[in-house]
Structure 1
């Protein structure tokens, strides 16, 4: 079954070469693989799978030991900070490559200028993004989602001058939204695990 899925993916890439490095196609491919594994694990009995999930969710999170809950929290923090950072970086680079490829195909000449020199840290954006997601994860986990607005305000002030560049502004917004989505969903899951006290 996994062989068939990979063959279908290869066929799609052959028909549409631009999908070769597509993030969306990669995610769909992985989700289908996971779905197939789950189905075969339960002997293709979808009703049994749904009933099992219902029973698990009904007693959640008390059916998970405290140690396992903290382990899940650690995995979420790693996934939503470092993992999300790598994903966002790769996604932005993929968008850039597609734009450059289209320009080259249309016979445009790309010229680099040294008009402005950026002396910022080469990994500054990556580190800031990780800290941003850590903060959002924590405020979501303690039940104070409104505090996440401080992150957006601070980032906007720090990048205010660069917002005149429409290209930078687009990437800034895309990266920020993806970052927030990862952190908010991660924070919600952590909150449901009930291991971090909620502040009211």
Structure 2
């Protein structure tokens, strides 16, 4: 099953990222022939990947190719309808492709109870819980924590000079890195991360000449790091007591 999935993934990555030029991406939105060319490349790659057992896997190649055509057609429609959300469309597109591969693999080999037990093991559930705490819960916790000062409302009147939701994404990524560093035992990496962020923020704090804004930035940074460290060591402690 693993080899089967790897072949499907290899064909997908080669077709969607290696052998798909920017010109092809651009032209297939306007000319359906380029879309069929793209799907044809995928089909050819699948044939090459399953060349040794092509007779047994031709239905898989046909199904995956047709699914790819359908998903990419939907993607083109979404891009026309929501041109301002390219990242979201890209993620949905790739999730659908990967879901197709997973569905084909499950259809071919079935879904054993042992595999499900392994997927829902204590360690995997802890990793999932950690991910949710870091990505979903901690931003809400920080927003509630800072609501007492309403500093965000005070800053709304100032000219927008930052990317939309950039601070949110930076905070999530830094907490993910902190959790990763703790699991690897690379605690000095946390200090490096804090130093790097301080250096990049130094210009903002110097130019701001605003005590409240400076305190807001410092509190946000320290609170984010405290949450990341707490989640990281919490995961490490929990993993120690799992069977």
Q: TM-score, normalised by structure 2?
A: 0.43
- 1:93 Cα deviation (Å)? 2.6
Deviations 1:22-58 (A, max 9, x none): xxxxxxxxxxxxxxxxxxxxxxxxxxxxxxxxxxxxx
Which of the pair has the greater relative contact order for Cα pairs under 8 Å at 6+ separation? 1
Secondary structure at 1:81 match in 2 = helix
- The equivalent of 1:174 in structure 2 is 219
The unaligned stretches of length 5 or more in structure 1 are 1-64, 101-109, 196-200
- 1:183 Cα deviation (Å)? 1.0
Q: How does 1:43-122 map to 2 (within 5 A)?
A: 67-96=121-150, 117-122=159-164
> Hey, which of these two has a bigger chunk of helix by percent?
2
Secondary structure at 1:160 match in 2 = helix
Aligned-CA RMSD value? 2.9
The unaligned stretches of length 5 or more in structure 2 are 1-118
CA distance in structure 1 between the aligned counterparts of 2:138 and 2:166, rounded to whole angstroms: 15
Secondary structure at 1:95 match in 2 = coil
Match of 1:158 among 193, 200, 224: 200
* Conserved? CA contact 1:81–1:129, under 8 Å: no
Distance 1:113 1:95, change over 3 A: closer
Deviations 1:2-21 (A, max 9, x none): xxxxxxxxxxxxxxxxxxxx
CA distance in structure 1 between the aligned counterparts of 2:229 and 2:162, rounded to whole angstroms: 28
* Conserved? CA contact 1:136–1:187, under 8 Å: yes
Distance 1:113 1:78, change over 3 A: closer
Q: TM-score, normalised by structure 1?
A: 0.51
Q: How does 1:179-190 map to 2 (within 5 A)?
A: 179-190=224-235
| Structure ID, larger Rg | 2
Tell me the matched-pair count: 118
Deviations 1:52-71 (A, max 9, x none): xxxxxxxxxxxxx9811221
Deviations 1:151-170 (A, max 9, x none): 21221122212213321221
